[in-house]
Amino acid sequence: MDIQRETEALSKVPLFSKLEQSKLKLLAFTSELQTYEDGETVFTEGEAADCTFVIMDGEADIYAKIKTDGGEMVVGTLRANQLLGELGVLTSSPRSATIRAKGRLMTLRISGDMFLRLLAENPPVALDVMRQLSGKLVLAHRQAEELQDKLQQYGDA
């Protein structure tokens, strides 16, 4: 994809839709379009979080290690226009999950520095990121409650 087409694609992502054309071009120029095939790993739990990704097309599964058997389990799916990897960049902490392509996946890889600059200079983008993070926290809390209920039922049986 060329810069103009990437800029146009970025303008359709709700997170970036309010950005000026010049900022979209800068983002497209400084970011890297990446394609993953089905099952290919985008990043692994525990890795350093040096970038964030925007899903341009396709889906990605979120895997978490299950302590009981040491295996992995899909705990969620991310879709087009969603962010992934932003929490690690914001908190300067390692990746908290493993992300793998579910089918063909196209992402835009944004460096951590560029992502933080984008948030600092564009309050509407920062607010949208906060909303997405809040939604992820609500979902994680709900899932934790459901697991706790299942464990309680298992203990009562």
- Distance separating alpha carbons of residues 104 and 30, to the nearest angstrom: 23
pLDDT in tens, 10-27: 888 888 888 888 988 998
Q: pTM score, two decimals? A: 0.81
The CATH number covering residue 43 comes to: 2.60.120.10
Q: Are 52 and 115 in contact (CB under 8 A)?
A: yes
Residue showing tokens 């994809």: 1
Burial of 26 per CB tally in 10 Å (0-12, 13-18, 19+): middle
Question: Where is average pLDDT lowest: 8-12, 92-96, 98-102, 123-127?
Answer: 8-12
> Token pair for residue 45?
């739990």
pLDDT digits (tens, 9 = 90+) for 28-82: 899 999 999 999 999 999 999 999 999 999 999 999 877 656 678 888 899 998 8
pLDDT of residue 5: 81
Crossing angle for the helix pair 123-156 and 112-121, nearest 10 degrees?
Answer: 110
Residue 138: pLDDT band (50, 70, 90) is: confident
Identify the domain containing residue 137 by its residue range: 3-156
Contact (CB, 8 A) for 81 and 44: no
What is the pLDDT, as a whole number, of residue 45? 93
For residue 68, the model assigns a pLDDT of 59
Instruction: Say how many domains are in the chain.
Output: 1
- Nearest-CA neighbor of 78 among 119, 143, 136? 136
**154 vs 95, higher pLDDT:** 95
